[in-house]
Structure 1
Amino acid sequence: MEYVNHLKSKLSKLIFLEINKEVLAENFNIPELRKSREELFLPLSPEYIAENINEDLTKHLPFGEFVKGMYYVAGADPSFNQIPVYRELLVSLHRETVIKGLVAKLIVEDKQEEGLIYLLGLFTIHGEKDVLKNLLVLLEELSVKESMYQQALLRYADIAIEQELLEGHLFKGSALRFAGNFSQSLFHLREYLRLGGEETKEITDEMEFLDRKARITEGEAILYENPERFLELVLPLLSLEEDNPKLLLMIAIAYRMLENHDKALYYLNDALAVDQTYVDVLNEMGINYAAIGNYKEAVNYFHKLFSEVRTIEILTNLIMCYINMGDLEQAKKHIEIGELIDSEDEILLEIKNYMRKLEQN
């Protein structure tokens, strides 16, 4: 996952110093350290390195900087091979309150990502539910700015659900909304309330929003196979989605498929009022005008659109309009352009064959 690699890359700025295990075991009463066959390397905190970059880092080292460094490594890479040893050390030292204070300080200073790493470290080492809740809050904030953290939000929300934290469902709902899975997002918000979560106005509004989006997504899946059912699903939602040009376009497509071109054009004009540059809406306008025999108006839309988006699909629509208008000269000119774009396009080949038959007659 992207965020995992991103956090691991943070370790490259740390300095690890080899520490005598016997001294640590003696001073901090951790006899288990002596059982480890591996050498012990402790990281200095990134803050200490940044502030003492020009100093000899092997002299006058406060042990607290190693403590911070170990939490930092545990957050940036929970699979780091010395994490079990770090856990023994940190659990025996009881410095988590200091690290929680550091997290608060970093967040106030708008260093959210650094704060996140220490929070992840706290959770990796101690697994406290309160830390997990704070972690989810911060991950949700970061997910708004950086999409890679949406993966982390989903992962730790699942962990919270496994630990029977109500908030897990709340934050999983948030993660799924980021991913565009509105129906599952709504399910987890309902689970949050069913299990005893507090129903606030914000949650109620969010559930109404998700229900609306889930219905639209359901409708989109059946638009072309069942336009009537699509309209039944989405038209009642339109008063709250009237500034949604994609929905207006889909409604127009449904009406076109039902051969109600007047209504299709009505909704297309509404969509253009929201977004005048929406390419698919402009294309649909041309298709509808062509369907009612107004080829001159259709040509205006297709010609304008083709000058901006030079696709073979738009060009073949334009060519057919010229043919239906009887302007075979323009049709031939645009067929030549089409051959430069994609000479093997099936529709273009059919048009060329049709043109040959017209000329023979």
Structure 2
Amino acid sequence: MSKEFEKFLLKKTNEVVFIELKENKTVEFNGVVIDSKTPLPVLLTNIVGKVNEVSISDFKTNDFIDGMAYIIGIDNEFIHKSKYIDLLLAIDKEIWKKFLSKSLFLANNGNKIDAIIYLRVANVLKKGNIDILYNYSRILEEMSNDSSFDDNEKNIFLDESFNSFKEFINEFPDYPFGYYHLGFHYYNKKNYAIASEMWKKSITLNINEDKRDELIERINDIDAKVKYEEGYNLVINGMHEEGLVKLLPLENDYSDWWNLMFFIGLAYRGLENYSKALKYYFKVLDLNTGSIETYNEVGLCLMAEEKYLEAEKYFKEAQKMHIDSSDIWCNLGIVYFKQNKLDLAKEYINKAFELNPDDEVTLAWKSHIESMN
């Protein structure tokens, strides 16, 4: 259990009240004797309706069962934990079944925090039970998507669920639903290759037909994402032809991925095939009209083709969306220089320098224009 989740659970201790025996008094539960050194916990909700000063006689055994279970589930380091465990097992050796059943009832009725608490005590009393551990991980996952919790709490639940499912598949490597859920955790972390492995494992373990069909579709999408990641990393690292080998086969099935179209365009620009680059950049603009980078890329291609007036138009569109981009100011300065508008060129290059005095391209053009003067 993470420290963050432990802190979250410990806040629930304010829902427990401890009843202390008078000195030299004892109480017995099925042969287990409790003396005044061991207070007995009762849920605050079970105090309601009692008199102001309560005693042992005001409560039923079930009140103490709930209280002991609750504090064990909340605080793993509680000083009287072992004594409470002895008491619970003395009352009923199979009492963990009651807590499992109660947790599922609570979860189905919207009280997922208490459901988790009762699952935790069930796990203490019955180590290695698949139903306890699976439902613990699954309910935490549901809590991470519950709008009644804030973002920080949801992240705590998500991390606890993720770590719990990892432990689950180690303990129950032949249970397909552990891999099914863990795959989604990896997918949401953008670890697509590992997510695909988890889901493929789930299928080989004969997950039910509906889930299998869902996973096959998701795996196909993931495999495409993995190839896309490999492709765009190659393009970014200057390996344009190798990148296209990965990216182009995805085009037919994923023509609505604007970022796929963008990196295909970037690869072609890197190969100085500006007409093909523009073809893909215009596809991007059809899919994502607000892409500043694409307007800038179109301008660069048009400028390379010496279509300066058209390039200026696209750089201007990009500048409307990002007025403080030194790159765009510099590119406009170059366009004006190419059109022999030297005063404008100098103005725009100087503005680019003002915004980013360390940019090497801007520095080179600034020196070039100043040398002409």
Q: TM-score, normalised by structure 2?
A: 0.79
Which residue is 1:230 aligned to?
243
Which residue is 1:29 aligned to?
31
- Aligned partner letter, 2:167: I
The alpha carbon displacement at 1:181 in A equals 0.6
Q: Equivalences for 1:1-361 in 2 at 5 Å?
A: 4=5, 7-8=8-9, 10-11=11-12, 13-17=14-18, 19-20=20-21, 26-30=28-32, 40=38, 43-45=41-43, 48=46, 52=48, 56=52, 58=54, 60-80=58-78, 82-94=80-92, 95-127=95-127, 128-144=129-145, 146-165=154-173, 166=175, 167-198=177-208, 200-224=212-236, 225-309=238-322, 310-359=324-373
Distance 1:182 1:83, change over 3 A: farther
The alpha carbon displacement at 1:87 in A equals 3.5
The alpha carbon displacement at 1:304 in A equals 2.6
**1:250-280 deviations in Å (ceiling 9; x for gaps):** 1211121122222222222222222211233
Distance 1:56 1:96, change over 3 A: farther
- Aligned partner letter, 1:354: H
The alpha carbon displacement at 1:178 in A equals 1.4
d(CA) in 2 for partners of 1:108 and 1:11?
Answer: 20
- Aligned partner letter, 1:171: H
Distance 1:2 1:322, change over 3 A: farther
The alpha carbon displacement at 1:353 in A equals 0.8
d(CA) in 2 for partners of 1:325 and 1:270?
Answer: 28
- Aligned partner letter, 1:201: D
SS at match of 1:26: strand
- Aligned partner letter, 1:305: A
**1:161-191 deviations in Å (ceiling 9; x for gaps):** 2212423322222211111111111112222
- Aligned partner letter, 1:215: K
SS at match of 2:172: coil
The alpha carbon displacement at 1:76 in A equals 4.4
Do the aligned partners of 2:349 and 2:362 also contact (CA within 8 Å) in 1?
A: yes
Do the aligned partners of 1:252 and 1:264 also contact (CA within 8 Å) in 2?
A: yes
Do the aligned partners of 2:231 and 2:243 also contact (CA within 8 Å) in 1?
A: yes
d(CA) in 1 for partners of 2:337 and 2:246?
Answer: 38
SS at match of 2:306: coil
The alpha carbon displacement at 1:113 in A equals 4.2
Do the aligned partners of 1:139 and 1:152 also contact (CA within 8 Å) in 2?
A: yes
SS at match of 1:355: helix
d(CA) in 1 for partners of 2:346 and 2:37?
Answer: 79
d(CA) in 1 for partners of 2:73 and 2:32?
Answer: 23
SS at match of 1:240: coil
SS at match of 1:223: helix
Q: How many residues align?
A: 353
d(CA) in 1 for partners of 2:98 and 2:366?
Answer: 77
- Aligned partner letter, 2:363: L
**1:4-63 deviations in Å (ceiling 9; x for gaps):** 2563353364344254599777224336x78xxx954555447557xx499848464555
- Aligned partner letter, 2:157: Y
Structure 2 gap ranges (5+)? 147-153
Which residue is 2:150 aligned to?
none
* Identity across the alignment (%): 22
Distance 1:66 1:330, change over 3 A: farther
d(CA) in 1 for partners of 2:198 and 2:91?
Answer: 38
Q: Over aligned residue pairs, what C-alpha RMSD do you find?
A: 3.4
